Chain A
Amino acid sequence: MRFCIIILIFLFSTNISAAESNSGPMPRHEWSFNGITGTFDKAALQRGFKVYQEVCAGCHSMKLLYYRDLLDIGFSKAEVKVIASEYTVLDGPNDEGEMYERDARPADRFVSPYLNDNEARLSNNGAYPPDLSVITKARKYGEDYIYNLLLGYEEPPEGMEVGDGMYYNKWVGGNQISMPEPIYDESVDYDDGTDNSAKQITKDVVTFLKWAAEPELEVRKNLGIKVILFFLVLGTVIYLAKNRLWREID
C-alpha cells in the first residue's frame, strides 16, 4: 500500500520537475559526433575555429588548448605556426632580467583576450565571460544547450523587465544574459564557400567547442567498440564453457 503511494508520489514528482522549466524541453539536434560511431567533421571544425577566432575570442579565453592542438583538426604544421604567430605572449625574464613580448608558438596555450579575470569583468559590465575550453562538458545538455543559447535571443515577453546591459535569452537560466547576441547571418565569411547562415555558423562553432572539450572523442568511441567486442566474445566463450562444466553437477 505504502509502496503504491510512494510510487505515485514518485511519478507525480517527475511531472512537477518537468513543469519547472519555463522555456519547454531543451531541443536536441543532429550532430556528426553523436552515436556510437560519431566523428568530427574536420571542415566544420576548421570553420568553427574561424568563428571562435573572429567572434568568441574577443571576450572568451580557451586556456586549456594549445595551438599545436589545431593539428588534430586538419591544419598543417605550417598553418598552425602562422595561426600562432598572429598572437603575442609575454615571455621572460630574458638574460637582462626583463620580460618581453614575442609571437606565440605552436607550443603556447591559446592567448586569452584579457590579462586576468578582473580585467575581463571590468570590460564586460561586471560579468565574467567563461573560459570555453570545456564548456560543452560544463553545461547541462552540453552542445545542444550552447547551440540553443547562441540562437536563443528574442524580444523579451511583455511585462518582463530586462536589466541594464542584459539581454533576453530563451534558454539561459533566469532568461537574462550579459552576452550580446554574438552570431548573425553572414557575420563570418567562410573561405570554403559554405553557406554562412546564423544556424550554420552556430553549428560549426559548437562542433569546434565540442572538439575542444573532448578531443579524445573519436579515439574513445573507436576503442570502446573494440573493448566491448572483446568482452562479448570472451563472455560467450566463458558462457559455453561454464554450461559445459555445470552440466556435470547434479
Chain B
Amino acid sequence: MSGNSKHRKYKNPFLNWIEFRLPIISYLEREYGEYPMPKNCNYFWSFGALATITLVVMILSGIFLAMNYTPHTDMAFDSVERIMRDVNFGWLLRYIHSNGAAFFFIIVYIHILRGMYYGSYKYPRELNWILGVFIYLLMMASAFMGYVLPWGQMSYWGATVITNLFSAIPVIGEGLKIWLLGDYTVGNATLNRFFALHYVLPFVILGVVGLHVAAVHVHGSNNPAGIDIKSKNDTVRFFPYMIMKDALATCVFGVLISAVIFFGPNLMAEVDNYIPADPLVTPAHIVPNWYLAPFYAILRAIPDKLGGVVLMFGSIVILFVLPWLDRSNVRSCNFRPIYKWFVMLFFVNFFILGYVGMLPAEGLYLLIARIGLVYYFGFFLIITPFIHLVETPKSLPMGISDVYLGAGEKKPILTSQKEII
C-alpha cells in the first residue's frame, strides 16, 4: 500500500503522524537539509542568514520593549529612560534593539551589494531581487518610525523633515501630509500611529522574507562564478555544510555587535536624541540615522524641494528595475573586467553620499553630494545598460567544481553569451 509506505517515512512515529497530515517535515528536510548550495559560495553568502537572525532578534527585543514603552508625547522619553534604568536588563534590550537596527542595515547593505557584484538579480532571480528591494523599503520605513519613538530632539525633527517631504507633491501634498501625521504638525497622533506601524511592519517584513527565501530556493542560490549548477558535484548539502559556515559567520557577527552593544552602545546614536523633543528648539543640524543618510544627501543635493523628493524616491525605485537595466549576459563581476570597477565605485559613492548626508548641506559637501548623485543615477541609467557594448567579458569557467578546485581560470570555455539565456 502506497499510503502505508508514506506513513513510515521516518523512524519517529510522531514525525510520521505530522508528515502524513502536513508534509512540513519533508519540506524542512528538502529546503534546509538537502537543499543544494553551490560549493564555491564564499562568506558573502552568509549575510542572508545573518539578516534573518537579526530580524528575529529585532522582533523579539522589540516585543519586550513595547511591553514597557508608552507612546505618548509626555511620557515616551521618560518611559524609554525607565526601560534603561528600572526594567530588568532593559538597557540590554534597548541597546540590542537600537544597535541591532544599525547592524541590520550593515548586513542588508552587504547583502544587496553582494547581489549586485555577483549579478544575483539576473535571470531567473529577478522576482527575488524585487522582493528584496521591498524588504529594504519596509526596513527603511520601520527604522524611520522606530527612530521617532524615543521622542528625543532628533526623533521629533527627523519626523518633521521627512513628513514634510510629502507636502512637496503637487495638489494632494499638503492633504497627504496631514493625513499621514493625523494632525497639522508632528504630535501625539503621529507618535501613536508610528508606534502601531513600527510594531506591525516587522511582521510584514518577516512575511516578505519568507517569500524572498522561498523564491531563491526555486532556482537555487547564485554563486561567485555566476554560472548555473550543472551537476550534483557542483553543490553541497545545506545541512551541515552551509549551516556550519553560517554559524561561524554568526559567531563573528556576535563578537562584533557585542563589542558595540556592551562597550560603545551610543556610538551610532545621535547625542541630540537624549534631549527630550522640544517643538520650539530646532537642533543646529537635523541628521537622519546614518543608514538612511545617502538618500538624505540626494534629497538635499537638489535646490528644488519637489525635485529632491522625486530623485530621492527615484533612487530607490530605480533599484526595482535593475534586472532589466543590466543588458549583459554574464552575472558575476569576477568576469566583467570593466563593470566590476564601476560597481565598486558605486559602493564607494554610496558610502560617500552617506557621509555627506550626515554633514550640513553647504559648500563642498553639497558639491560632493551632487557629484555623488550624478554618479548614482549615471551608474544605473548609462553605465549599467550600455557597458556590455564595450566590455568583453572573460570566458566563464566550465563548472562550479572547477572553480572550487581553483582550476576554473585555466579551462576557458566559450559559453559566456549563451550560458544564461
Chain A residues packing against B (C-beta within 8 Å):
2-3, 6, 9-10, 12-13, 16-17, 36, 63-64, 69, 130-131, 133-134, 137-140, 142, 173, 213, 215-216, 220-221, 223-225, 227-228, 230-232, 234-235, 238-239, 241-242, 245-246, 249-250
Contact = CB atoms under 8 A, between A and B. Distances in A.
B240 A245 contact: yes
Given A224-B258, A235-B248, A245-B244, 10 more contacts: A2-B345, A6-B349, A137-B274, A223-B92, A227-B262, A228-B259, A230-B254, A231-B252, A242-B244, A245-B241
A231 B254 contact: yes
B271 A138 contact: yes
B348 to A, nearest CB: 7
B284 interface: yes
Contacts of A138: 271-272, 274-275
Contacts of B244: 238, 241-242, 245-246
Contacts of A230: 254
A208 to B, nearest CB: 15
Contacts of B95: 220
Contacts of A215: 85
16 contacts: A2-B375, A3-B341, A6-B349, A6-B371, A9-B364, A10-B352, A12-B364, A13-B368, A16-B364, A138-B274, A138-B275, A140-B271, A216-B91, A242-B244, A242-B248, A250-B405
B316 interface: no
Nearest to B255: A231
A143 to B, nearest CB: 12
Contacts of B91: 216, 220
Contact of B255 (A64, A235, A241, A246): A235
B258 A228 contact: yes
Q: How large is the interface on B (under 10, 10 to 19, 20 to 34, 35 or more residues)?
A: 35 or more
A242 B284 CA distance: 51
A215 B86 CA distance: 10
A36 B263 contact: yes
B78 interface: yes
Contacts of A234: 251
Nearest to B401: A250
Contact of A220 (B262, B274, B276, B405): B262
Contacts of A216: 84-85, 91
Contacts of A13: 356, 364-365, 368
Interface in B84-104: 84-85, 91-92, 95
Nearest to B405: A250
A220 B265 contact: yes
B236 interface: yes
A215 B87 CA distance: 12
Taking each of B248, B254, B348, which has the highest tally of chain A beta carbons within 10 Å of its own beta carbon?
Answer: B248
B331 interface: no
Given A10-B352, A134-B81, A137-B271, A228 B255 contact: yes
A68 B365 CA distance: 49
Nearest to A141: B271
Contacts of B263: 36, 221, 224
Given A9-B364, A227-B258, A235-B251, A134 B240 contact: no
A16 B252 CA distance: 36
A121 to B, nearest CB: 11
Q: Closest 10 A-B residue pairs measured CB to CB?
A: A224-B262, A235-B251, A138-B274, A231-B254, A242-B244, A137-B274, A216-B91, A231-B255, A134-B274, A227-B258
